[in-house]
């Protein structure tokens, strides 16, 4: 049912990866089955008052039991790439030590099912679900966590070998720092900006050690992080707003990109840390060489722009979605990706997440417009010479949206959480025809 290509069609390069993304805690459920150990999210979600309506990921979209049907759904959409995450505590129930064979087996069945359908598995190792047993030892506050993470990574690299062609180490370390450790509205629910920055450094170290672990296996698979990035813009033409946009850029983008792609923290970000900030002591000699070792791919989660006033206040210049933090600005994707190439070199890029939440249950024409505008921006980015190899929309299906529970729906496939029935939204049918034609019509 592909529309014939016309002049208004933006045709993507042959082989461009058309994907969707999910994460383990948000879709799997089966929280206590087959030997899975608890993660910080199991504990956090069960604390009263943490999650809207008291929701948890105990069952979520029950993907652990329904993965075969979900694989067929992906095949039916025509996906050529699928990004999911492995639950660390399903593979290693206490985070280290003995492997849980049933946990590993689930991911083998999933990976094999993808390969059998010609869908490329893109696997995130850590999407925020630190094993609870490790949290009891301080989790990412403890420098050893970087090593525990690399050991877990080595375990799965050895188990999957070349069956997984693309590994993503961390999903959005920034969110762990800002939401898990500063706002305290994600697990583990702490509010300590200084400790948060230590956690941020340990996460980056974990990333670097995991890259080393992959290289040590001799694998030809590719690896990189998935960073949440947001181009920053001044709200007006004032010098003050322009300066604040640079400061915000350090927080939003350079603070993560510079260590990974240049092996150093940005000077302005470092200078902004108090003299006695514990993060200064946490950064040991040699860490940045590990963190800055070569990556094969950079994953970018792009949700929107950041606009700042002359006082540094964040304001909304563009439309938002049901998720009121989201400032929808498709051109920002072009600005961000062309900037990465300009400032950091020609590393292959993948959009690891992009999408919106809407209250429209099935006729999600707002989501179609969002996806169309962002894919048009992606197309322009490729035309400008950026090596953007694939796009994973967030999300394949409705799921457990962290502190928002099941009240925010991000999927192109609707999930009735009472029956677990999956139903295509209008955006799913639209995306299927985009994939079939390898093109997007501009309007
Ligand atoms: C992504 O984060 C996540 O990777 C994914 O798991 C998630 O489902 C998806 O986005 C949709 O949210 O509520 O004001 O405290 C996107 C980056 C960082 C945006 C945390 C929301 C919380 C803002 N997110 N932020 S607030």
Cα 61 to middle of ligand 1, angstroms: 19
- Residue 401 CB–ligand 1 contact under 6 Å: yes
Cα 173 to middle of ligand 1, angstroms: 11
Which atom of ligand 1 is closest in space to residue 357's alpha carbon? 11
Give nearest CA residue, ligand 1 atom 20: 175
- CA distances to 257, 281, 351, 393 from 374, rounded to whole Å, are 22, 41, 11, 10
Cα 394 to middle of ligand 1, angstroms: 11
DSSP 399-415: ---GGGTTSS---SEEE
Q: Tell me, what's the ipTM?
A: 0.97
385 vs 81: CA distance, rounded Å: 22
Antiparallel, parallel or unpaired: β 388-394 and 17-21 = parallel
Cβ 357 vs Cβ 408: under 8 Å: yes
Residue of 27, 178, 301 to mutate, ligand 1, most atoms within 8 A of C-beta = 301
Cβ partners under 8 Å of residue 182, min gap 6: 191, 192, 193, 196
Quick one: residue 402, left, alpha or beta (phi over 0 = left, psi -120 to 50 = alpha)?
left
Cβ 324 vs Cβ 364: under 8 Å: no
How many C-beta atoms surround the C-beta of residue 41 within 10 A? 29
Cα 9 to middle of ligand 1, angstroms: 32
- Residue 23 CB–ligand 1 contact under 6 Å: yes
- Residue 171 CB–ligand 1 contact under 6 Å: yes
Give nearest CA residue, ligand 1 atom 7: 401
In percent, the amount of the chain with pLDDT more than 90 equals: 98
Cα 230 to middle of ligand 1, angstroms: 12
- Residue 126 CB–ligand 1 contact under 6 Å: no
Quick one: residue 138, left, alpha or beta (phi over 0 = left, psi -120 to 50 = alpha)?
left
Which atom of ligand 1 is closest in space to residue 399's alpha carbon? 8
Cβ 64 vs Cβ 30: under 8 Å: yes
Residue of 181, 325, 400 to mutate, ligand 1, most atoms within 8 A of C-beta = 325
310 vs 175: CA distance, rounded Å: 25
DSSP 94-105: TSSSS--HHHHH
Per-residue pLDDT at 142: 99
Q: What is the pLDDT of residues 97-154, one digit of tens each?
A: 999 999 999 999 999 999 999 999 999 999 999 999 999 999 999 999 999 999 999 9
Per-residue pLDDT at 8: 83
Q: Which residues of the chain are modeled with pLDDT < 70?
A: 1-7, 443
Cβ partners under 8 Å of residue 341, min gap 6: 347, 349, 385, 386, 387
How many C-beta atoms surround the C-beta of residue 78 within 10 A? 16
Which atom of ligand 1 is closest in space to residue 226's alpha carbon? 4
Which helix (H) or strand (E) is 369 found in, with range? helix 365-383
How far from chain centre, in Å, is Cα 368?
21
Cβ 164 vs Cβ 119: under 8 Å: no
- Residue 350 CB–ligand 1 contact under 6 Å: no
Question: pTM (2 decimals)?
Answer: 0.97
- Residue 230 CB–ligand 1 contact under 6 Å: no
- Residue 179 CB–ligand 1 contact under 6 Å: yes
Which amino acids are annotated catalytic? 172, 353
- Residue 353 CB–ligand 1 contact under 6 Å: yes
Which atom of ligand 1 is closest in space to residue 183's alpha carbon? 15
DSSP 246-286: HHHHIIIIIHHHHHHHHSS--HHHHHTS-TT-HHHHHS-TT
- Residue 407 CB–ligand 1 contact under 6 Å: no
Cα 141 to middle of ligand 1, angstroms: 21
286 vs 305: CA distance, rounded Å: 34
- Collapsing DSSP to helix, strand or coil, 151 comes out as helix
């Amino acid at each position: 049912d592909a529309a014939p290509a016309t002049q208004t069609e933006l045709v993507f390069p042959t082989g461009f990866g058309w994907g969707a993304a999910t994460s383990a805690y948000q879709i799997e459920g089966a929280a206590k089955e087959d030997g899975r150990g608890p993660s910080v999210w199991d504990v956090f979600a069960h604390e009263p008052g943490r999650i809207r309506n008291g929701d948890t990921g105990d069952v979520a979209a029950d993907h652990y039991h329904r993965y075969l049907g979900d694989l067929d759904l992906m095949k039916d959409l025509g996906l050529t790439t699928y990004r999911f995450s492995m639950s660390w505590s399903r593979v290693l129930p206490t985070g280290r030590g003995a492997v849980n064979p049933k946990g590993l087996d689930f991911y083998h069945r999933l990976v094999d099912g993808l390969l059998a359908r010609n869908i490329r598995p893109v696997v995130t190792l850590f999407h925020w679900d630190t094993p609870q047993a490790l949290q009891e030892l301080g989790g990412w506050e403890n420098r050893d966590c970087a090593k525990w993470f690399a050991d877990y990574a080595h375990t799965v690299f050895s188990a999957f070998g070349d069956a997984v062609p693309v590994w993503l180490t961390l999903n959005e370390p920034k969110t762990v720092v800002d939401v898990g450790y500063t706002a305290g509205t994600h697990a583990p629910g702490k509010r300590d900006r200084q400790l948060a920055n230590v956690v941020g450094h340990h996460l980056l170290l974990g990333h670097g050690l995991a890259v080393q672990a992959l290289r040590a296996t001799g694998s030809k698979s590719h690896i990189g992080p998935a960073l949440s990035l947001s181009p920053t813009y001044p709200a007006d033409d004032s010098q003050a707003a322009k300066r604040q946009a640079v400061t915000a850029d350090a927080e939003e983008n350079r603070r993560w990109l510079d260590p990974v792609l240049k092996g150093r923290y940005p000077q302005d970000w470092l200078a902004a840390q108090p003299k006695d900030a514990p993060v200064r002591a946490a950064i040991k000699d040699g860490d940045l060489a590990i963190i800055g070792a070569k990556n094969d791919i950079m994953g970018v989660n792009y949700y929107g722009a950041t606009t700042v006033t002359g006082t540094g206040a964040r304001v909304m210049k563009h439309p938002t979605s049901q998720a009121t933090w989201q400032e929808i600005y498709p051109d920002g994707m072009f600005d961000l990706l062309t900037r990465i190439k300009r400032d950091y070199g020609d590393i292959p890029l993948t959009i690891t997440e992009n999408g919106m939440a809407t209250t429209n249950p099935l006729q999600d024409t707002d989501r179609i417009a969002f996806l169309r505008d962002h894919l048009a921006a992606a197309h322009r980015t490729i035309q400008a010479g950026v090596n953007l190899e694939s796009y994973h929309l967030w999300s394949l299906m409705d799921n457990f949206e962290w502190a928002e529970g099941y009240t925010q729906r991000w999927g192109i496939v609707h999930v009735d959480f009472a029956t677990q029935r999956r139903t295509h939204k209008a955006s799913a049918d639209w995306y299927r025809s985009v994939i079939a034609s390898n093109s997007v019509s501009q309007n």
